[in-house]
Amino acid sequence: MTIVRLGYVAMSMELKNASPSKTMTFAQFQKIGDREAAIRKLERIALANLENTHRLLKHNVFNAIHFYRLTSRLIPLANHEELSDWDYMEPLTEKLAEIGEFVKKHNMRIDFHPDHFVVLNSMKKDVLHNSLTTLRMHEELLLGMNMDATHRCVLHVGGNYKDTEKSLERFATNWHEVPRSVQQLIMLENDDTSFTLEDTLYLCEKLSIPLVFDYHHHLAHHRNENWVEDWGRVVATWDTSPLPIKMHISSPKSEFAFRHHADTVDVDMFFQFLNEIKGTVPQIDCMIEAKLKDAALFQLMKEVGRRADVEVIDSSSFYLK
């Protein structure tokens, strides 16, 4: 049997006043006349975001949710060029350690999905530099939590630039400029417009990077419709990872807005995937990318619980029979 664990992204629809993504723009920062006072305000916002992250993690434990994606917006302006002298980690040390201890105590899986401006196959050196700076920040946060940072950041391949082959090769070339510890952070995901499952597999196999299969993206953008033929290759990219294989699940908003995420997950669409991979892996962690976040997870589990082909373990996990 295969164990399926569900997770959700960043925000809770159930837990009120718990945003982990409160922010300050650089324009707002500049309006504060005293620079040190402005930095102290940034630090208070970052600490509030971490406090709310801790609340969300407690909410997850209460509801037996073992998989969670942290927001990449925990520290406002962390990588802004005008704040390069700001040691944003120093005031967060104690709280990060507390969060990490909590995560490990409850055996949760956490990770990040940095924003779309992290582009490792960019033709522009400054974009690559800024991307690496952002990834180092994610690494610092994980290390501040005393977490093993291996395979904790999902990325897209990047820009297609109207030439798929050259863009893939540029990723491989730029990869040699990525520090080894940052390389270890990364997982790659197939996307819905530029790089198919086959494209992403090419890089993952070439560079020994785990592939996070996004089923919805594949349905929106593919060359070979039969993804099952490549599933064994996807699984093999996880051979050296300390973590179980991971995938993304979401459903189209509508036939005409197919690439957009729906509020919830279509259980029949999900099981079209699960029935194909059943028994091929001992466990798979499925990140729900739905507008209703944890509420979508709870709704999906209600529907899963009515099925005869599963055995429910808890509020977010089940066996495929």
CATH number (domain holding residue 166)? 3.20.20.150
What are 3-42's pLDDT values in tens digits?
A: 999 999 999 999 999 999 999 999 999 999 899 999 999 9
Q: What pLDDT was estimated at residue 33?
A: 86
Is 100 a member of any domain?
no
Three-class DSSP category at 41: helix
- Asked whether the beta carbons of 174 and 167 are under 8 A apart, the reply is no
Is 296 a member of any domain?
no
Residue 212 CA, chain-centre distance (Å), reads 9
Task: Tally Cβ neighbours within 10 Å of residue 316.
Answer: 25
What is d(CA 103, CA 148) in angstroms, rounded to the nearest whole number?
Answer: 12
What is d(CA 118, CA 97) in angstroms, rounded to the nearest whole number?
Answer: 26
Is 201 a member of any domain?
yes
Q: What pLDDT was estimated at residue 275?
A: 97
What is d(CA 157, CA 189) in angstroms, rounded to the nearest whole number?
Answer: 7
CB burial class (10 A; 0-12, 13-18, 19+) of residue 143? middle
What is d(CA 209, CA 240) in angstroms, rounded to the nearest whole number?
Answer: 9
Is 149 a member of any domain?
yes
Q: What pLDDT was estimated at residue 225?
A: 87
What are 261-294's pLDDT values in tens digits?
A: 999 999 999 999 999 999 999 999 999 999 999 9
Is 199 a member of any domain?
yes
**321 residues of the chain, pLDDT tens digit each:** 899 999 999 999 999 999 999 999 999 999 998 999 999 999 999 999 999 999 999 999 999 999 999 999 999 999 899 999 999 999 999 999 999 999 999 999 999 999 989 999 999 999 999 999 999 999 999 999 999 999 999 999 999 999 999 999 999 999 999 999 999 999 999 999 999 999 999 999 999 999 999 999 999 999 888 999 999 999 999 999 999 999 999 999 999 999 999 999 999 999 999 999 999 999 999 999 999 999 999 999 999 999 999 999 999 999 999
What is d(CA 160, CA 271) in angstroms, rounded to the nearest whole number?
Answer: 31
Is 217 a member of any domain?
yes
Q: 134, 211, 131: which is closest to 170 by C-alpha?
A: 131
Where would I find the beta strands (DSSP E) of 64-152?
A: 67-69, 109-111
Q: What pLDDT was estimated at residue 224?
A: 87
Is 227 a member of any domain?
yes
What is d(CA 77, CA 134) in angstroms, rounded to the nearest whole number?
Answer: 11
Is 27 a member of any domain?
no
Query: How many separate domains does the chain show?
Result: 1
What is d(CA 320, CA 283) in angstroms, rounded to the nearest whole number?
Answer: 10
Parent domain of 144: 112-238
